[in-house]
Structures are given as C-alpha cells and as structure tokens.
C-alpha cells in the first residue's frame, strides 16, 4: 500500500465515473457493501491497494472501491471540473449512447442523481433529435435523452424555490413513491437498490437537502415531532432501548400521510402505522421517535 503523500500529492482527488460506485469495507469484492456514490461526485483519494482505492466521500464516508470507477485529478483539474456546466439525471434510470439514437451502442448506464458535463456547439447546448451531448468524468462523450436530464444550476434553483414555497416535503414524498417495489440492498443508495437510510438520503438529496448517510446520524438532525403531529416528509426512526435507556436506531422510514409511511425493508414499500391494520409494519413496536428535517 502507498503511504500517504507518496504519488498522491499531485492527484489527491477523484471523480466517480460509474453510474453507481459500490464502496466496500475492505479492498475485496467479498467485503460488505458500505454505501454507494453517484457519477460525477468528487471524492478525496486516500490510499491504494492493487486495483482498489480508498476514498473519502462527501456523505461523509471512508471506504474502498475499484479504481476502474474513478478518474483521478489534481486540485487544478478538480477546480475546472467543478466549474464546468453540468446536467443532473432526474430519471430513475437512463443511458448514455454513442449516437443520438437509442439504437446506437451504449457507453454507460445512468441513475437518478448522476452528473455529467454539458457540450456546447457554437455557444449553444449541443442537442439533436431529443438528445443532448454529454461528457463523462473520464472525457468520454455520448448522448442522453434530453427528457432524462436537467440543467444542474436550474435544478438547484428549482429546489430552492420549492423550499421557499413549502413544496419540498410534498416533492420528497412523491419521489419516494417512484421507488416502490425496488428490492432492498444493504448499502444501497440508488434506484439499483436501497437500504432504509439510502432511500431517505436520495429523496432528500434530489430535493436539494443533503442528509448524512446513516439512520443513526439522521436521527440527530432536525426537530423532534410528536407521533400525533406527523406531517408528510417527517422521518420515523425505529430501533431498541437498553436497560439504561440508551437508544439504538436501526431503521428509518418517511411519513407519507394518513397514518402510513414508506421505507426500504426487504423492498421499498408503504405500510400502516396503526396496529391491527392488515398492512401494519411488522416491527411497529420498535418505533422510537420522529424528526422533522424541514
């Protein structure tokens, strides 16, 4: 393994190239999946072992990923990358094609939250027949259906406007419902698979609010809310309490209204909070508290 400072000083950063990068506890494909990062995310490059690299993501999280999924850059290159105009993928899933046609060869898949640089032609966005041209972090160029992406700066402004207008909670819930039926994946934070906190984090992230990665971190944010005063978008935390009264949070879901909540447990699903209902969550007795993030 390289010692810190050896050959890394010139390239202390990297950008995610894969649509979804799987971050593992150790540099081994058999090691547990810890979390995921999305295309276009800038990370710190900490160490290397074989074809694995240890990175620090903005979640924040330190874990290992295959180096095939990252493009190493120095500080100057990262600054230029971050300033470049970009798109953000707003479709659940999409694809980068070699030409402006779905019949052309694929270059990469995409998932919601992926970020790609724009391509301009004569000072205007380069688009053809409903496709826009994009640049992946590696510099590869391709075409994406225009309906699947949005100007990232415009998306940020829209998120801010929705927050001011009081529409954010409604939009977060609406987005979460788009993922119903997607199987549970430990460490998952994308439409390829979610764990409980990964679902919550992506739904808030796509509405301009960045939460920590894990439920045990998320429960420390926001305001405490009585279970009798829940509003859509509030987070529900489940877990256990030991003999000394110490809580251990192990699960999180999101209130959607009418005594129901959405969460990733075996699959992304909506359950009732009312004991006796046929679709009541089987672990409702483990409900500890609710927090309002907005």
Catalogue the active-site residues: 196, 251, 263
Cα separation, 113 vs 93, whole angstroms: 10
Q: What are phi and psi of 291, to 5 degrees?
A: -135, 140
How many other β-carbons are positioned within 10 Å of the β-carbon of residue 212?
16
Strands 267-272 and 13-16, by their bridges, are unpaired
Is the bond leading into 136 cis (omega within 30 degrees of zero)?
Answer: no
Are 15 and 69 within 8 A, CB to CB? no
- Give the N- to C-terminal CA distance of the chain in Å, as an integer: 43
In the block, tokens 């903005």 appear at 58
Cα separation, 52 vs 4, whole angstroms: 15
Tokens of 256: 């959607």
In the block, tokens 């978008």 appear at 233
Tokens of 72: 């190493």
């Amino acid at each position: 393994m390289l010692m810190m400072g050896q050959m890394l000083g010139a390239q202390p950063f990297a950008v995610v190239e894969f649509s979804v990068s799987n971050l593992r506890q150790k540099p081994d494909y058999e090691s547990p999946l810890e979390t995921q990062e999305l295309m276009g995310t800038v990370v710190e490059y900490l160490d290397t072992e074989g074809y694995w690299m240890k990175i620090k993501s903005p979640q924040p999280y330190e874990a290992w990923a295959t180096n095939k999924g990252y493009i190493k850059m120095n500080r100057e290159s990262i600054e230029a990358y971050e300033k470049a105009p970009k798109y953000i993928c707003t479709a659940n899933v999409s694809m980068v094609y070699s030409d402006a046609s779905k019949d052309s060869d694929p270059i990469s898949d995409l998932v919601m939250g992926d970020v790609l640089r724009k391509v301009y032609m004569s000072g205007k966005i380069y688009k053809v027949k409903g496709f826009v041209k994009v640049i992946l972090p590696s510099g590869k160029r391709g075409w994406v259906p225009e309906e699947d992406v949005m100007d990232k700066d415009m998306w940020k402004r829209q998120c801010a406007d929705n927050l001011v207008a009081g529409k954010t909670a409604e939009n977060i819930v609406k987005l979460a419902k788009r993922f119903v039926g997607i199987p549970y994946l430990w460490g998952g934070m994308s439409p390829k698979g979610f764990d409980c906190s990964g679902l919550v984090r992506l739904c808030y992230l796509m509405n301009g609010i960045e939460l920590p990665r894990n439920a045990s971190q998320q429960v420390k944010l926001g305001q405490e809310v009585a279970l009798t005063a829940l509003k859509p978008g509030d987070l529900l935390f489940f877990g256990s309490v030991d003999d000394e009264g110490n809580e251990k949070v192990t699960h999180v879901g999101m209130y959607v209204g009418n005594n129901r909540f959405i969460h990733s447990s075996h699959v992304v699903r909506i359950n009732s909070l009312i004991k006796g209902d046929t679709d009541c969550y089987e672990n409702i007795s483990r409900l500890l508290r609710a927090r309002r993030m907005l």
